[in-house]
Structure 1
């Protein structure tokens, strides 16, 4: 792993890619050059985002295909747990690096406010011609992840100071399902339910991730993902989809606390195993995916608008046979690549990552020096 990626958001450009802040002095002569980016982590971002896009486009196809229904559950075993874990890994140095901490505002908070507005107000306005009250603290659809990221990163300095934080976070997640009415305010239901995956990202070490790149780990990863398919088939028959979303109480899913804790515990073990498997099978070398992974924020924020059109129109009805399902999945990957492309980033950067220098004050130390 490399230092330049430690504080980068799981979605969006790395701090290393961003232009230096105004007034920042150039590197001193003889200073060590920044380390190379880790292409593997960029590839992981793209792979996970492609699964997210498949998930959001798959909804209209679920009732017409048993295979697509099981695939939906299979993807949900790992795609968001892995994304949350990678986000935690990238968040660790925020507590010691002020310039990267500022990225919470420029590359998470500001895009959240812009696209929360578009997603919350756009759906009722476009479909029904009616306006609704803007509610920035109640995330609309896929904006839950950015809202949760804000909360997790604000929690990071305190999480890192707590002993045994990983087992504690697991207990928090299991206990959250036992509490009816955990608020969706700033995605607190999922913030707490997915907390173990974020904490694992915070505490895991580079040498642990390096193990996943070795051949035995990759062989085991194939076995894990293959074995997860029949498990997903059982889950598709026995569990409602909200078990896979980690956003409801056990009581709301019509089960007892003891049974609910048991089910979530099993799902958590499966999520840890399948997330590690996907990371192990992601190519480690620099490839066409690497540059696209750096633009994952763009793909995440933009694909929802296209998914709206796919759902609202009759286009999805054409995908009604195995060959067409394969074409559908390939199309999701191609769309992900297009939305994450450097060209898309150049064109839409003013909208997705607008300049916010005017919003951020200088650090107190800088002000004191100038005084």
Structure 2
């Protein structure tokens, strides 16, 4: 789930932070960590695979939607373009370089390829593109419907792949637009003002939806494997690449997408509206997202999680994920790695803005 949008990149600094959204950010990014932590277990354990499918049905859509909620749909000014570079583009370049060097140190080839994002860095590339495209998309009459059509349509085009994370960017675009629409609908204010008695009625329905989803996944886990449902939940490849070349394959993406819209709403209903022990952690989403992969990388690459595992490993990985999410959000961690995660790079920017023709715009007091 993002101040920084889902990654805490776009919240206007002059606005008072709303606990609901900081709570949602931290829970969403913690689910991201859990999903990555249990990936190695899903091949051998049905219970791990069921949990994985359950989480992936909504956690990335939630993360994207929260990013969209705080995105600006107007023309970008100099300040916004500055933040786009310092909050997203520069961290992507820095961490892509770090991953390249790390793989080289561990015996791989040194291939510095910024067009192919390493592991979780695809989200930064996608976030840049979503924020650039949104102002153009929202001038159209039905931006959400158009984004859904784009997402479904791109699944039929095998030539659109992971280069610059384009397949995922277009595949997940509807959730970014959906998040932006949530703000236009002004549902947050309505939700925050509801009486607790009404809140719990809605939350009961949300709990029922999540329980039903988990039950259906758990009872049909072999069918889920056969149908390769996981591939649909990733939104990162054409249908034909995993043997869904029929014309109706896009209908399956639409079904998954509509379910995710409902789950986003249900997720936000279950998030505490008031300040909690983890509210402050929601302001450090970028740190958790970018750094947790370094914690999980040894477990992922050493083979320690390969093959059948004892029953305690799955809950152990969940606990490890939550602890990792908490620790990486601590002030001391943020101070240490801030130059990498939030590089200011003041030396790179000119002191004055320019017009579209390149003419320097002087401050008013300097004009003659």
**TM-score under structure 2 length normalisation:** 0.87
Among candidates 27, 36, 58, match of residue 78 of structure 1 = 58
1:139: which partner in 2?
117
Quote the Cα distance in structure 2 between the aligned partners of 1:248 and 1:318: 27
2:195: which partner in 1?
none
Quote the Cα distance in structure 1 between the aligned partners of 2:310 and 2:19: 36
2:131: which partner in 1?
153
Gaps of 5+ in 2: 193-198
Pick the structure with more helix per residue. 1
The answer as to whether partners of 1:49 and 1:300 remain within 8 angstroms in 2 is: yes
| Residue 221 of structure 2 corresponds to residue 207 of structure 1 | no
1:328: which partner in 2?
317
| Residue 28 of structure 2 corresponds to residue 48 of structure 1 | yes
2:286: which partner in 1?
297
The answer as to whether partners of 1:211 and 1:217 remain within 8 angstroms in 2 is: no
TM-superposition CA deviations, 1:92-136 (whole Å, max 9, x none)? 26646643442111111110110111224423x14324322x111
2:230: which partner in 1?
241
Quote the Cα distance in structure 1 between the aligned partners of 2:166 and 2:306: 36
Quote the Cα distance in structure 1 between the aligned partners of 2:332 and 2:287: 11
CA separation of 1:291 and 1:206: change in aligned 2, threshold 3 A: farther
| Residue 301 of structure 2 corresponds to residue 312 of structure 1 | yes
Quote the Cα distance in structure 1 between the aligned partners of 2:271 and 2:317: 21
CA separation of 1:60 and 1:110: change in aligned 2, threshold 3 A: same
The answer as to whether partners of 2:155 and 2:238 remain within 8 angstroms in 1 is: yes
Q: Please provide the CA RMSD for this pair.
A: 2.4
Map residues 110-189 of structure 1 onto 2, 5 A cutoff.
110-123=90-103, 125-132=104-111, 134-189=112-167
1:30: which partner in 2?
none
Quote the Cα distance in structure 2 between the aligned partners of 1:273 and 1:345: 34
The answer as to whether partners of 1:212 and 1:279 remain within 8 angstroms in 2 is: no
CA separation of 1:356 and 1:249: change in aligned 2, threshold 3 A: same
2:196: which partner in 1?
none
Among candidates 345, 348, 362, match of residue 368 of structure 1 = 362
2:345: which partner in 1?
356
Shift of residue 12, structure 1, vs aligned partner = 3.3
CA separation of 1:286 and 1:215: change in aligned 2, threshold 3 A: same
CA separation of 1:256 and 1:98: change in aligned 2, threshold 3 A: same
TM-superposition CA deviations, 1:11-34 (whole Å, max 9, x none)? 1366666xxxxxxxxxxxxxxxx5
Quote the Cα distance in structure 1 between the aligned partners of 2:15 and 2:133: 28
Quote the Cα distance in structure 2 between the aligned partners of 1:154 and 1:96: 9
CA separation of 1:255 and 1:169: change in aligned 2, threshold 3 A: same
Shift of residue 143, structure 1, vs aligned partner = 0.7
2:273: which partner in 1?
284
Gaps of 5+ in 1: 18-33
Once the two structures are overlaid, the 10-residue window that deviates more, 209-218 or 264-273, is 209-218
1:28: which partner in 2?
none
Among candidates 195, 204, 207, match of residue 222 of structure 1 = 207
CA separation of 1:261 and 1:44: change in aligned 2, threshold 3 A: same
2:5: which partner in 1?
9
The answer as to whether partners of 2:91 and 2:341 remain within 8 angstroms in 1 is: yes
Give the 3-state SS of the residue equivalent to 1:316 in structure 2.
coil
The answer as to whether partners of 1:48 and 1:79 remain within 8 angstroms in 2 is: yes
The answer as to whether partners of 1:14 and 1:294 remain within 8 angstroms in 2 is: no
Shift of residue 282, structure 1, vs aligned partner = 1.3
The answer as to whether partners of 1:91 and 1:202 remain within 8 angstroms in 2 is: yes
Quote the Cα distance in structure 2 between the aligned partners of 1:181 and 1:96: 31
TM-superposition CA deviations, 1:142-171 (whole Å, max 9, x none)? 110000001111112111211111111111
